[in-house]
Structures are given as structure tokens and as C-alpha cells.
Amino acid sequence: MLNREAMRRGSVPKDGNFRFNMAELQALLPAGTLDRDVKPVYEELPQWEETVMGARTRYEQIIKTLADKYPSENLLLVTHGEGVGVSVSAFLEDVTVDKVDYCAYSHLRRPVFHKNKSFTAGEFEVLSDNGRTGIGYYSSIHMGNGAVDEAT
């Protein structure tokens, strides 16, 4: 997330504009490390002070976009805690993630149907059990008496 909640102010450029010389950064990597045919999901970084909800929506969209781009592949997406939390909260209905441990992970699955060189995909299913992969969550459904159902 590009906001004060995730980053210390001292690590942010004064103008809030993050600039990276990609050619310079790529030159630091060993030959053969990069696949130069891969196109980025986003052409530019989000603006400084993006909202938490804006970042979460972006993470969810990246997961869906990459899964659609590679529908017959198993993907390993490496991210930070907020992204890992979104991989559960975006695809489990009425769930709030309240804990993401260091090195936590989630396991998602969705059906993909191929026909005539195209595909359709179903909804993601979260296969990770609460707490077993370093992600803690609870049901955010409010009961009629104002209490929250935390049975998940």
C-alpha cells in the first residue's frame, strides 16, 4: 500500500512520486532472470496516499487478472501481509481478516472450463483453514441482537 499506514514518511519521496529506473534495476539481476515478454498488470504505480480500500481492491483485481491471464496454470503470488489477507477476505463472503502472520499463505482454487480456444472461470474458493496457514479471520455477519457471529 502506498500510504502512511504501510510506510514511514521518511521512506517516501518528498513529492510522493515513486520513480524507478527499470533498466538500471534490471541490469542488477543475473542474465536470464527476467522474462522480457511479460507485460505488467499496471503500467504505473498507484498514487501516494492511496486508500486502504483502494489498495485492497487493487490486490483483488491483480489476483483475478493474473488468474485470467494464465487460466490453465498454477500460480504462486508472493506479496506482503495486506495482499495475503485480501486473498482470503476478497473471496470468502462476510469475512474479516484480523491476523496475518509472517510467511502466511492462502490457497485458492477455481473451476476453469475450456471450449473453442477460450475459457470461462468460476468463482474462487478459499481452501485455507482459519489459522492453519497463518491467516486469522472471523465472520463479519451481524446477528439480529447486534452481536457478531465469530463462529468461523
Per DSSP, 110 falls in state -
Q: Are 152 and 130 in contact (CB under 8 A)?
A: yes
Instruction: List the grid coordinates of 73.
Output: 496454470
pLDDT for position 13: 82
Question: Per-domain residue ranges for the chain?
Answer: 80-152
Q: For cell 495482499, what's the residue? A: 83
Q: Are 90 and 56 in contact (CB under 8 A)?
A: yes
Note the pLDDT tens digit of each residue in 85-137.
Answer: 999 999 999 999 999 999 999 999 999 998 888 899 999 999 999 999 999 99
Give the Cα separation of 42 and 150 in Å (integer).
36
Which helix (H) or strand (E) covers residue 98, if one does? strand 95-100
- Indicate the pTM of the whole model: 0.81
